[in-house]
Amino acid sequence: DKVIDHYENPRNVGSFEKGDQSVGTGMVGAPACGDVMKLQIKVSDNGIIEDAKFKTYGCGSAIASSSLITEWVKGKSLDEALAIKNSAIAEELALPPVKIHCSILAEDAIKAAVADYRKKHNE
| 33 catalytic residue (yes or no) | yes
Q: What is the per-residue pLDDT for 101?
A: 92
- Look at residue 54 and tell me if it is in a domain: yes
CATH code of the domain in which 20 resides? 3.90.1010.10
Marked catalytic residue, from 27, 33, 59, 82 = 33
Q: How many folded domains does the chain comprise? A: 1
Domain range for 37: 2-118
Residue 123: inside a domain, yes or no? no
pLDDT for the residue numbered 30: 73
Query: For residues 99 and 106, what is the distance between their CA atoms, to the nearest angstrom?
Result: 12
Cβ proximity of 48 and 30 under 8 Å: no
Check residue 68 and give its pLDDT.
97
Task: Indicate if the pLDDT at residue 33 is higher than 80.
Answer: no
Residues 49-76 pLDDT 10s: 999 999 999 889 999 999 999 999 999 9
The catalytically annotated residue of 49, 102, 106, 110 is 102
pLDDT in tens, 6-19: 989 999 999 999 89
Residue 32 has pLDDT above 80, yes or no: no
CA pair distance 120, 123, nearest whole angstrom = 8
